[in-house]
Amino acid sequence: MDAIEAIKSRRSCREFLPDAVDKAVIKDIIDCARFAPTGWGKQPWEFVVVTDKAMRERIAEIAYYGRFIAQAPVCVAVYCRPTTFYLEDGCAATQNILLAATAHGLGSCWVGGDKQEFADKLHAPLGVEEDLKLICLIAIGHPAKPAGKAEKRPLAEVLHWEQFGRH
């Protein structure tokens, strides 16, 4: 799958088959994340990959609106060191993970973490240093059903030339 196809076909997936994801595929997905753009070349990201079912269930319990993480065979916790652009860098790495998962034929879903009340509650269970910032949690796995078509605003509505309001 080429990059344009991955971008245009990626959808959030919250229902997964129980099948494991090959470790080499997970490593490739994280490898893609580290190629994300980063402010001043800081690369503040750290990725905690969780495949243990009990730990995924614990994460899902803590991250209350990410309950589906319990059934996804993989959860990636994206953390960043507190740099000037940690949030932008972490989000760029997250997008690379989502697109790489799609390119590998996997489903994924981004669960927000930065500034969420549960973010600090995951430090201890994941063994993460206290100064790191949780950017997000990403559920990854084989989709239980085909992705639906997403309703997107038309290009003509969101594209502005030279000034806002000029289409």
Q: Tell me the pLDDT tens digit for each residue of 97-127.
A: 999 999 999 999 999 999 899 999 999 999 9
Give, as one character, the DSSP assignment of residue 45.
E
* Residues in the chain, pLDDT under 50: none
Give, as one character, the DSSP assignment of residue 143.
B
Contact 128, 163 (CB under 8 A): no
13's tokens: 């997936």
What does the domain layout of the chain look like in residue ranges?
3-158
Pairwise CA distance, residues 87 & 38, whole Å: 10
User: How is domain 3-158 classified at the CATH fold level?
Assistant: NADH Oxidase (3.40.109)
Strand, helix or coil for residue 30: helix
Q: What is the pTM of this model?
A: 0.96
User: Starting from the edge strand earliest in sequence, which strands make up the sheet with 45-50, in order?
Assistant: 45-50, 74-80, 133-141, 107-112
